[in-house]
Each structure stands twice: as C-alpha cells, then as structure tokens.
Structure 1
Amino acid sequence: MKNAEAAGLPTLDSGQAQQVGKQADRDQELSLAEGWRFDFGPGDAAEGYRSVTPDCRYNADKGYGFEAGGSVYGRDRRLQDDWGMTAEAGSMAAPEGDAVGTRLRASFCIPLGAVFRVDLPDGTYMVTLLAGDELADTHTVVKAGGSKRMLPPVRTVAGQFVEHRFSVPVYGGMLRLAFLGKAPRVNALEIVPAPQTLTLFLAGDSTVTDQPASGYPYAGWGQMLPALFKHDVCVDNHAVSGRSSRSFIEEGRLDALLTRLKAGDFLLIQFGHNDEKADPQRSTDAHTTYKEYLRRYIDAARAVQAHPILITPVQRRYFDEEGRLLDTHGEYIPAVRELAGECGVPLIDLAEKTRALLEQAGPEGSKELFMWTLPGEYLNFPAGTEDNTHFQETGAARIAVLVAEAVRELRLQPLLMYLR
C-alpha cells in the first residue's frame, strides 16, 4: 500500500498536523456546545440533523444508535396521492415554508422497547422530543437509563405533533433513552448541555432508588419523580438499595453527590428502613447516631448554599385485624421530625402521607402498590412475589405524587413553580 507522498497526495508536516488536530478539537467543542440533533425515520435527514434510521445500530465510532434488543420500525409519510403524485404528509403540521419542520414530521421511528444511546460527556442535559404522526394516534413513554420515567405518557391524535422537554443527568459517558408505549413515535431529538439547570438530588434507599429495567415492575419513587417536573428541574437520584444514613456516607456516596451539588440546588434525604436493622455496617440508634448522620447531610448541603429537605421513611404494608396500618419504624419517624425542627429544615412527612394512602386502599387494595405479583404475571418474576416493603411502578408513581403534593404544601420555591 502506497503512502500519501508516494501516491502524489498532499502531506502534512508536524506543525500542520498539530493545527489540524487543534481544529478537530475546536470542532468537537463547538459540537458539544451546540448539542446533538437527530432526525428519526427512513430517508435523508433534515438539514442540520443526523440521520437515525430504523437500522441505525449503536457503535462506539459513531457514538449513537439503537442498542441491541427491542425492535425498531420506521415510516415516511410522504405518500403517493390518487394520481401518483408525491405528497408531503407533514406539510400541514409545520409552518408554511418550514422545510426542516416538514421533513421532521414526515418520518419517524417506531421503537418497541428499544433503547437509543448517545455518548456524551458527563453532565446535565436538556432533551427535546418531537413526536406525532399525520395518520395515527400515538402513545409514547420515555425512560432514561431504562427505568427513570422522564415525562408523563406522550399522547397525540392523528395529525398532531408535540414537543416535550426534560432535563437529565448523564454519568458514565452515555445517555440511554428507552422508548415504550402502546403506539410509540420518535420524530426527532435534540440534546443540549444545561449545566446551570436547577437539580433536585435524592439520597436514600431501595424505596427511593432507580430500580433497573430488568426488575420491572419493581420501582422506587425517585425514578417516577422526573415526570412530575418541567424541564427546568433535573432529578438526580443517588439513592441505592440497602443503604442506611450511615452506610451511604461511609461508602463515599454523599461525597460523590457533593461533587455536583451547587448553590440553589435541593437535596432530599430519606433513610430509616436499613438504619433499623441489626447490622453493624448499617445500623444507627434513632435517638443518637441516626440524627447525627442525617445532620451531616444537612450541613453538607448548607455548606454549598443548597437546600436540604428531610423525609420520614415510607410505611411498610402491615395491617392489624381492624385494617389499621401497623408502624414498623418505631422511634425513627419522630427522630426525623425532631431533627427537622432542631435544624429548621423543611420536612416531607411521607410516613404520615403513606399511612393515610395505605389505610385508604386497605389490606387488599394496597397490594397493587407493592410488589405483590401473581405467578406468571410479570416476566421478571415468574414465580410471583409477596413484598410489603418495595413498590411496583403503580405504587412508586403514587408516592412520587405525594412528594410533589408536599412541595406544594410547603410552598418550596422555585420547585413549586416548576411542577407540571
């Protein structure tokens, strides 16, 4: 194989090569600043957009595409009319003369349980989704990382196109968006850096955490919370299953959270389930060490002028013979209430709110909130489960609504004005 000089092609000396490398870096920085724009569906991409066809599979060199698994189909609604003439199906939905808008609306992907991956530097991003179909009603559910509900279900009627925005944190150099629903559509995505976005951080245990998609319908209330806020708020959930107020700190998880926590952000803190256990690595005393560890979260947030909020632990599903909920947390609930008063910290009393919710649902109705599933009901739990501590998606969504309700009751600004 001939080298460039032997082939008569222009060559670069070391100085020129260095300049080319610097220009490539500047081009990449410009791309990062402007964001990424993707046009989904068959055919050529709209001007200024990258094409994502149904067979666009992820590879590291390209840095984006659909991951293996799931199914992706596509339509281009530029149809043939009765006389064989080409008609632009999206032309009535976009403003007159908007060629890019018309093109984006004319074609789309139908991702059935598919995950679209984009390699991005770690940080906070705002995502804009365009969804709709000229000829059919649509129903699309968007989850980040496979499980975190980012929007309420996106519904459109035939001929309607909508834009929805949400903010999302990126870790590990990638953003993974799962698309589900009864009739999902993705026409276009735009992803732009949003480092100054107000962030709502969560520290907690399995009742709060983002449960993996492989555990569906198992869910923590934190993974359902993003759908309740507008794009002005990014929910960054650091809760991890099995952690107590003590082990979360001693494993360095609070320190990791603090690397992103900034002035004006919020930190929601809910522990208790694992503090109560007789485990020397996790246990705390309700009257002493439990409050001492919780105080460290409060002090750390205030040190960077962020806003800490204490949350009492959610109730477990245990009833007495008269249908009244039995408390399993003992002194841990009053300890959180006392600490909130001592430190002047807002308190979301989820223990009380979930007690009222479960008693209203009753011993049988409350099973639909928790991981009580029948054999064969869910693929991930073929033998069924009877779990009185952890929620399925329905229950997690109800708890997230209770958290949003508390934000309204406490009038926590600016979170209050950013609720959907």
Structure 2
Amino acid sequence: MSLPSWVFFNHFFHSISFSLAPLRSVQFDPVCDPRYDLKITFELVNPTVRSARADSVRSGSVQFTMRLTTLPISALLNLALGCSARSNAYPFQRITTTTTTTSYNGISFVLVGDSTTHSGTLTLNSGGWAEGFCGSLTGGTFCSDRSSNGKTTGTIVSEGFWDLALADVQNETEKGNKLFVTIQFGHNDMKIAPPESMAANLTSFVHQLNNLGANPVLVTALSRRNFNNATGLIADTLGPWANATIDVAHATGSALLPLHEVSIAYLESIGQSASQILNRSPDDRTHLNLAGQFLFGRMVADLMRVFILSDSDPSPFTIDSDLSLALYTGKQYAFEPVYQPGHNATY
C-alpha cells in the first residue's frame, strides 16, 4: 500500500522542515488490532531527521514504528487503511468507564517547568497542564508538581524549586519506583536568552537526574494560542526553543515528548474560536482555564503512553476514551460545565 506523505506528517511534526518522497510501505494487521504496531517506511529527500521515534537512519531512509491509534492523525490513517476512527482500531473504545480504582505505585512522576506546566489558576499568569496530568493517574501514583509561574531554566534553580524536585527524586528512587521527571521550558527563557542558553541548562538537568537514577523526559513547550488571521494557523514564536529541547534530547539520549508540535496540530485542527475557549481569561492565550488544564494534561499523559512507557509497564493512567479520541482526531471536546459562560475567565 502506498500513501501520500501528508497522511503521516500533516501537522503531527508541524515544525519539522524536510520534504518526503511517497511512503514506501505500510505494514498493518488487517483486523486493526490496536496491540499491533503500524510500521511506516519512507525515503527522505533530506536525511536529517528531527523526531522522537526515529529508530534508524541509513542510506537516506528511516523507519518509524508507532502505535497506529495513539497518533493525533490516527483518523487519517484509519481512513486510509480502511478502519473506522470509532472502530476497535481505537484502543479505548471497548472501555466504558473513565476512571479506575486500581492503585499502581510502581511508577512516579515529578513535573518541572513554568506556568504552562504549573497547576492552578488562582493567580495571574498561571494555569498549566500539571493538574490535568496528575489527575489522569490511578490512585496511589505519586505525582509532584515542582513547576512554578514565571520560571526559566535559570530561576527554577536560583529560587529553590529545582532542589525541591531533586528531593522528590531522591525519595522516590530510594523506594525503588520507576521515576519520570518531565521538564518543559521556553515561554520565559525566550524572553531573556537565546535557545542555546536554555539548552545548556536542560543538559545540566538531564545529567543530574541520570546520576540520581531518574528518567528525564524533555517536553517541548506547550503552544500559545495566537493565530495568524490570514492563514488560520498558529503564529508560532516558540519554535527555536522547542528545537533546542529536541536537540538536547537527541544529544543526551533522553526521552522526548513533542508537546509543542502536537498542541499546535490540535489547536489548528479545532480552529481559533474553539482554541480561545481554553484561555484562562479572554485575552490570555498562554495560560489555561480548567478545561484547558485537563485537556492538555490528558494530551501529555497520552503522549507519555506513546513515547515513553514500554509495553511491559503497567499503565499508571486512568482512561478517558472520549477526551483521548477527541485529541487524536483533532476535535473540540465539550467540557460543558467549564465552557459556561463564554471563555470562563478565571478559577
């Protein structure tokens, strides 16, 4: 089966700039069983690849292995492969409950970042995805939010929040838990220093965490919701800092979550009007209200499942099939209580 390159790369790797020849091959289980992987092989015109899941680069070609139904463009792939987006090709469709009471204590999380990670909307310039992410975990799963409003990769250290995160790391690793530390910066670093400065600090963070036995997870910055009115696309200014994060992940062999790229794809898919409903206040296109916190928290949780957790890891996440399906098909999700009235300015 041959598919045009846009089927795979339309939006999902929005900031990756290279052209592709048509896809060479697609291997897919005919019954659309989500336990199987979709294997896509394609040739690159320019064999320089910026991706979290490039398994190999040889002779100008690269093979990606990704789970079919955990990609934001899964609906396009499902359609192209003859599988309905609401068939059993989506792994959660057979699950009716959105929560579970099962406790799982083998995996722990510490979250480090700025206000676009940090929980809460009680103060100005606040409202990130942490609360939604931690809220997606099963009971008993440790999740510590050590992010803070207004922080850069420099001030997170100088103001003591990094030390608090390291204390959590030490406690959890001493328990024998498999600990993941997410690190997302860029919104404030871009105001004071070039991407290279942030990259140097991220590299230091990674080395410190590795030395403590933790698993650093670099996260590209959540997109702002500023649109170019002429094109209907995100007017992105965070790209160089997202690319710096990707570079550090590749240089250090660290895990990477492409939140910047995926959030852009989602926002552009639902459009400007629907995107602004997620604002903390009508004119705040950076921070999130409760709807936005839980929507993007689920996005990070699902990306963690795709890119980080191995098949052998029992999932620490609860299931929200409707929200995950909306995210992966680029549809607006109606948080009815939160969407009243209008932008639902503050919490």
Runs of 4+ in 1 over 6 A off after TM superposition: none
Q: Matched residues in 1 for 2:100 and 2:304: separation? A: 26
What is the correspondence of 1:343-362 to structure 2 with a 5 Å cutoff? 343-362=252-271
The answer to whether residue 302 in structure 2 is matched with residue 405 in structure 1 is yes
- One-letter amino acid of the structure 1 residue matched with residue 220 of structure 2: T
1:256 Cα deviation from its structure 2 partner: 1.9
Residues 411 and 260 from structure 1, CA distance in 2 versus in 1: closer, same or farther, beyond 3 angstroms? closer
Q: 2:185 aligns with which of 271, 279, 301?
A: 271
Q: Distance in 2 between matches of 1:254 and 1:269?
A: 11
CA distance in 1, matches of 2:102, 2:211: 31
What's 2:152 paired with?
244
Q: Which amino acid aligns with 1:305?
A: G
**1:417 paired to 2:315:** yes
What is the identity, as a one-letter code, of the residue corresponding to 1:396?
A: Q
Tell me the SS of whatever aligns to 1:334: helix
The one-letter amino acid paired with 1:205 is D
Which amino acid letter does the alignment assign opposite residue 419 of structure 1?
A: F
The AA in structure 2 aligned to 1:200 is F
Q: Measure, in 1, the Cα distance between the counterparts of 2:157 and 2:123.
A: 26
Higher share of residues assigned helix = 2
| Aligned AA (2:283) | E
Whole-angstrom distance in 2 between the partners of 1:324 and 1:415: 37
Residues 371, 390 of structure 1: 8 Å contact kept: yes
Pairwise CA RMSD? 2.7
* Deviations 1:103-125 (CA, angstroms, capped at 9, x unpaired): xxxxxxxxxxxxxxxxxxxxxxx
Change (3 A) 1:242 1:415: farther
Give the alignment of 1:116-265 within 5 angstroms.
164=101, 198-211=107-120, 214=122, 219-262=127-170, 263=173, 264-265=178-179
Deviation at 1:416, TM superposition (A): 5.8
Query: AA paired with 1:286?
Result: P
Distance 1:306 1:225 in 2: 19
Alignment counterpart, residue 216 of structure 2, candidates 308, 313, 319 = 308
- TM-score scaled to structure 2, two decimals? 0.57
Q: Structure 2: where are the runs of 5+ without partners?
A: 1-96, 319-347
1:166 Cα deviation (Å)? 6.7
* Residue 223 to residue 166, structure 1, CA distance change in 2 (3 Å): farther
Q: Displacement, 1:411?
A: 4.4
**% identical equivalent positions:** 25
Task: Tell me the amino acid that sits aligned with residue 317 of structure 2.
Answer: L
Task: Report the AA paired with residue 184 of structure 2.
Answer: Q
3-state SS of paired residue (1:403) = helix
Q: Is it true that 1:335 corresponds to 2:335 in the alignment? A: no
In the alignment, the residues of structure 2 paired with residue 268 and residue 254 of structure 1 have an alpha-carbon distance, to the nearest angstrom, of 12
The match for 2:23 is none
CA shift for structure 1 position 164: 4.0
State the distance in 2 between where 1:334 and 1:322 align: 23
**Matches of 1:227 and 1:329, distance apart in 2:** 27
Gaps of 5+ in 1: 1-154, 156-161, 168-195, 278-282, 373-384
Alpha-carbon shift at residue 267 of structure 1 (Å): 0.5
Q: Distance in 1 between matches of 2:267 and 2:317?
A: 25
Larger Rg: 1
Question: Between Structure 1 and Structure 2, how many residues are aligned?
Answer: 214
What's the secondary structure of 1:230's corresponding residue? coil
CA deviation vs aligned residue, 1:21-66 (integer Å, no higher than 9, x gap): xxxxxxxxxxxxxxxxxxxxxxxxxxxxxxxxxxxxxxxxxxxxxx
Deviations 1:230-278 (A, max 9, x none): 124211001100001111012222112111213331110000000011x
Deviations 1:67-104 (A, max 9, x none): xxxxxxxxxxxxxxxxxxxxxxxxxxxxxxxxxxxxxx
* One-letter amino acid of the counterpart of residue 199, structure 1: S
Q: Are 2:152 and 2:189, in contact at CA under 8 Å, matched by a contact in 1?
A: yes
Higher relative contact order (CA 8 A, sep 6+): 2
Counterpart residue type for residue 273 of structure 1: H
Alignment partners' CA distance in 2, 1:232 and 1:204: 23
Rounded Cα–Cα distance in structure 2 between residues aligned with 1:415 and 1:296: 28
Q: How far, CA to CA, are the matches of 2:299 and 2:140 in structure 1?
A: 20
Amino acid at match of 1:204: G
**8 A contact 1:197–1:232 mirrored in 2:** no
SS at match of 1:401: helix
Q: CA deviation at 1:415?
A: 6.1
From the superposition, tell whether residues 300 and 206 of structure 1 become closer, same or farther in structure 2 (CA, over 3 Å).
Answer: same
CA contact (8 A) 2:126 2:149 kept: no
Summarize the Cα distance change of 1:344–1:329 in structure 2 as closer, same or farther, 3 Å threshold: same
> Which of the pair is proportionally richer in strand?
1
The answer to whether residue 194 in structure 2 is matched with residue 297 in structure 1 is no
CA pair 305-333 structure 1, distance change in 2 beyond 3 A:
same
Amino acid in structure 2 at the alignment position of 1:407? M
